[in-house]
């Protein structure tokens, strides 16, 4: 049986999740929903995804643009075993009653408030909490990146405290209206940034402080990390632990990748779709220990690291596989790891 997956909101995240679902051996995209006939709607049709109108009053616009619709979003929700809601922040919560009406389990994205869902989700950290759940929130790009790092450190050494400074891209490449254009903006100025509390939706008892800044870049986020461990492993041991994590790419020194620009170039050279990086990218030589303090830099591709997490969450809510099996299937189907 192929799980029938519907995607409501076919933008930056939604279109990537659709392609990732299609690549899985046990899932099919039953359709995608959009509000308007823009280039991404054209792309959906081009890719062979049945396209549904998200807002009935605006359905005529698709006809006017010569884009054929398969129906209205309600029909998609009814036909799907699971809906992935990838609408802009806040819209997911508005859509919740629609999913409930058809009794269709739904995944939401990190822009939604944690209260929208029964549980927040990261495959490496808390897959089991989403098994059989009706509403699950896949945490944001930055929270996903932090959770993937914290989970193995906690298991292996214990974590006293995480301190993370997040240098955030001002906007995604297609977000022409975002900024700053020429500034370095503490965001928020007062601590903590929302990321620390968000990571605690995955690890409720974790001590974590986060600070955020926004810079004029679109490529990736960059995290400067300090974790006080409950042990004093040497840096090489920690590096090897991180190398064993399937969704952490430890950049070898010899690759001479000095920043997010070369990282993205590397992803494109390797033929990654849209130049995506599904993995955290940790600089190998940045992994350092001073006493029990671990330091490192990692880059997070905001547009794609949550994509494999959505695929795993689909299997969790439908109870189609356990964590290990799902992560392995997803990784194999997408080609995660280098």
Binders in 39-68 for ligand NAD, by CB under 6 A: 40, 54
Write out the two tokens for 323: 């964590």
Task: Find the farthest-apart pair of alpha carbons in the chain and give their distance in angstroms, rounded.
Answer: 66
Identify the helix (H) or strand (E) that includes residue 82.
strand 82-85
Tell whether residue 109 is a contact of ligand NAD (CB under 6 A): yes
Closer residue to ligand NAD (CB): 10 or 249: 10
Burial letters 259-287, b for 16+ CB under 10 A, else e: ebeebbebbeeeebbebbbbbbbbbbebb
The CA distance from 324 to 175, in Å, is 36
Stretch that binds ligand NAD, among 3-11, 231-239, 254-262, 280-288 (CB under 6 A): 3-11
Q: Kindly state the number of chain residues that form the binding site for ligand NAD, as judged by CB under 6 A.
A: 27
Binders in 136-175 for ligand NAD, by CB under 6 A: 140-141, 172
* The only residue of 75, 276, 279, 303 in contact with ligand NAD, by rule CB under 6 A: 303
* The only residue of 51, 76, 82, 87 in contact with ligand NAD, by rule CB under 6 A: 87
Find the shortest distance in angstroms from Cβ 213 to ligand NAD: 16
Closer residue to ligand NAD (CB): 200 or 274: 274
* The only residue of 133, 151, 260, 306 in contact with ligand NAD, by rule CB under 6 A: 306
Find the shortest distance in angstroms from Cβ 265 to ligand NAD: 20
The partner residues of 208 in beta bridges, in order of sequence, read: 162
Binders in 18-37 for ligand NAD, by CB under 6 A: 33-35
Find the shortest distance in angstroms from Cβ 17 to ligand NAD: 9
Tell whether residue 4 is a contact of ligand NAD (CB under 6 A): no
The CA distance from 167 to 221, in Å, is 6
Whether the bond into 21 is cis, omega within 30 of 0: no
* The only residue of 111, 170, 180, 259 in contact with ligand NAD, by rule CB under 6 A: 111
Closer residue to ligand NAD (CB): 12 or 329: 12
Find the shortest distance in angstroms from Cβ 217 to ligand NAD: 13
- Report in angstroms the alpha-carbon separations of 245 from 8, 149, 158, 323, 333: 31, 9, 17, 14, 17
Closer residue to ligand NAD (CB): 143 or 241: 143
Q: From the candidates 73, 86, 141, 242, give the one annotated as an active-site residue.
A: 141
The CA distance from 233 to 293, in Å, is 10
* The only residue of 5, 7, 8, 312 in contact with ligand NAD, by rule CB under 6 A: 8
The CA distance from 324 to 328, in Å, is 6
Stretch that binds ligand NAD, among 85-93, 145-153, 266-274, 278-286 (CB under 6 A): 85-93
- Report in angstroms the alpha-carbon separations of 138 from 17, 126, 267: 12, 11, 24
Whether the bond into 106 is cis, omega within 30 of 0: no
Binders in 213-272 for ligand NAD, by CB under 6 A: none
Find the shortest distance in angstroms from Cβ 313 to ligand NAD: 13
Find the shortest distance in angstroms from Cβ 87 to ligand NAD: 4
Residue 141 designated active-site: yes
Spatial contact of 286 and 273, defined as CB atoms under 8 Å apart: no
Spatial contact of 88 and 9, defined as CB atoms under 8 Å apart: yes
The CA distance from 297 to 18, in Å, is 30
**Residue entry with tokens 């190398």:** 243
Active site residues: 141
Instruction: List residues binding ligand NAD (CB under 6 A).
Output: 8-14, 33-35, 40, 54, 86-89, 91, 109-112, 140-141, 172, 302-303, 306
């Amino acid at each position: 049986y192929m799980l029938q997956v519907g995607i409501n909101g076919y933008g930056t995240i939604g279109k990537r999740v659709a392609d990732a679902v299609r690549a899985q051996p046990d899932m099919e995209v039953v359709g995608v929903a959009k509000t308007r006939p823009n280039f991404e709607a054209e792309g959906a049709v081009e890719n062979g995804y049945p396209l549904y109108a998200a807002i009935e009053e605006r359905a005529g616009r698709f006809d006017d643009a010569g884009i054929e619709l398969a129906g209205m979003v309600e029909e998609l929700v009814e036909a799907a075993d699971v809906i992935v809601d990838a609408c802009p922040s806040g819209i997911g919560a508005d859509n919740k009653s629609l999913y409930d009406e058809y009794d269709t389990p739904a995944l939401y994205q990190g822009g939604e408030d944690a209260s929208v869902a029964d549980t927040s989700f990261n495959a490496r950290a808390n897959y089991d909490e989403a098994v059989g759940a009706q509403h699950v929130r896949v945490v944001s790009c930055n929270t996903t990146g932090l959770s993937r790092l914290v989970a193995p450190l906690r298991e292996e050494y214990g974590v006293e405290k995480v301190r993370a400074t997040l240098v955030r891209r001002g906007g995604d490449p297609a977000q022409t209206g975002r900024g700053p254009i020429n500034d370095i903006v503490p965001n928020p100025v007062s601590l903590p940034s929302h990321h620390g509390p968000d990571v605690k939706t995955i690890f409720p008892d974790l001590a974590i402080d986060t600070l955020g800044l926004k810079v004029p870049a679109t490529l990736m986020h960059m995290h400067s990390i300090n974790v006080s461990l409950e042990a004093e492993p040497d840096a090489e041991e920690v590096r090897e632990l991180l190398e064993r994590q399937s969704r952490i790419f430890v950049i070898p020194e010899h690759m001479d990748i000095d920043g997010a620009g070369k990282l993205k170039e590397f992803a494109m050279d390797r033929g990654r779709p849209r130049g995506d990086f599904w993995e955290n990218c940790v600089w190998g030589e940045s992994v350092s220990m001073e006493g029990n303090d671990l330091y490192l830099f990692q880059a997070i591709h905001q547009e794609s690291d949550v994509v494999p997490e959505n695929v795993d969450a689909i299997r969790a809510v439908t109870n189609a596989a356990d964590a290990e099996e799902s992560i392995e299937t997803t990784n194999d189907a997408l080609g995660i790891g280098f």
